[in-house]
Structure 1
Amino acid sequence: MKSISSKEAQNHFGELMNQAVKSPVIINKYGKPTVVLISHEEYEKFNQLEDMYWAMQAKVVFYQRKRVRIL
């Protein structure tokens, strides 16, 4: 995973977009990781994972409530 300064990112944004399609790029500000540039495909994967996580959480709550009613 490539890591660059925010100034470098400003000067080479087009190149970074091409690189981010292949692998995430970390952008540092004042020497600290601040932003990660990722492809749209990776972004969609993260959104799907988040949706699955919340769906599982909803199922847990549903079954816990159902169990309490039975008891």
Structure 2
Amino acid sequence: MYIIKVKGVAKIPDYVQLRDDKFTLLAYFRVDRPEKSLDKIGLTDKYEYIMGVIKDLPFGKILKLEL
């Protein structure tokens, strides 16, 4: 799984994309509201880990997650 943090501009907030190994979009959510999207794809139990990665991830960088 891959994670990408996208910088928002003006009134558009920052977003996060979660993609599978074929780079298909699994989830797209605001940095400040991840709960519903993570629950929808079954990653609620990985919430703390994913949010820790998002906090340290620079904007525009693609990072491979090993879950």
TM-score by length of 2: 0.26
Q: Highest Rg: 1 or 2?
A: 1
Larger fraction in helix: 1
Higher relative contact order (Cα pairs below 8 Å, separated by 6+ residues): 2
TM-score by length of 1: 0.24
Larger fraction in strand: 2
